[in-house]
Amino acid sequence: ATSALNRHDDALRYYTDFLRQYPQSRRVRSARYGSGWSQLQLRRYDDAINSFRQVEQGLDSVAAAASYQIGAIQILRGDTAAAVATFQAVLYRLPYESFSDNAYYQLARIHYRRANYDSARHYFQIVARQFPQSELRQDAYYLLGESYASLGDFPNAEYAFARTRRITEQGPLLQRALYREGVMLYKEGRFTSSVDRLRQYVSEHPNGADIDNATFWLAEALYQARSYPEAERYYANVVEQREASPW
């Protein structure tokens, strides 16, 4: 309870007292994990890793969570090679435990940042499809789309962006996925469908972060669909009304 209230010093003291007084308790593993979490919040990273190491060798959710936290600390310290090794080791032992989705997601992000898009796609796909209750699922589907787009696989990218849109109720991610879906449809040569998605974006999100780009691609899609007068109107909008636009 004290940890949940951000009183991490107090929580750490209580966990330490508990472990000293009840070393045989069935709650020892949870207490050690709680100690590690409190130390992590206090930025006592070496102590946190030591606490997590004492429980990471089990075959339960506590072990999975502890291993994930070790990897997260390694990322914080900039040691991505060690983090990759940590995440891969825990996923080999516990591929579908709690926090496993976090480990897959972090592996995917590391590969994505390194432009290893095929490996990133693999791990994002696991989170998106194998963990339907994960809080990371929406972001995983979106970045799966970006990974496919970087690989030039526009049909699968479009599908991933469409899935992102369908499972996201509102907010910037929904808007971004709608825009990117429209662009992928354009790159597939599906110009009428691209017009539908991009027109929806321009209509529903006139102040969206991608409005300039969406307007340009809408004009392009309209042109390819032979709707020349409407395309000309949107081109003019880009030129005359969007002075900050890169187009």
List, for residues 115-153, the tens digit of each pLDDT value.
999 999 999 999 999 999 999 999 999 999 999 999 999
Token pair, residue 33, equals: 């994990």
Count CA within 13 A, CB hemisphere, residue 191. Answer: 10
User: What was the pLDDT predicted at 26?
Assistant: 93
Contacts of 91 (CB under 8 A, 6+ apart): 100, 103, 104, 107
CB 56 within 8 A of CB 70: yes
CB 102 within 8 A of CB 71: no
With a pLDDT cut of 70, the percent of the chain lying above it is: 95
User: Does the reported pTM lie above 0.85?
Assistant: yes
pLDDT at 225 over 70: yes
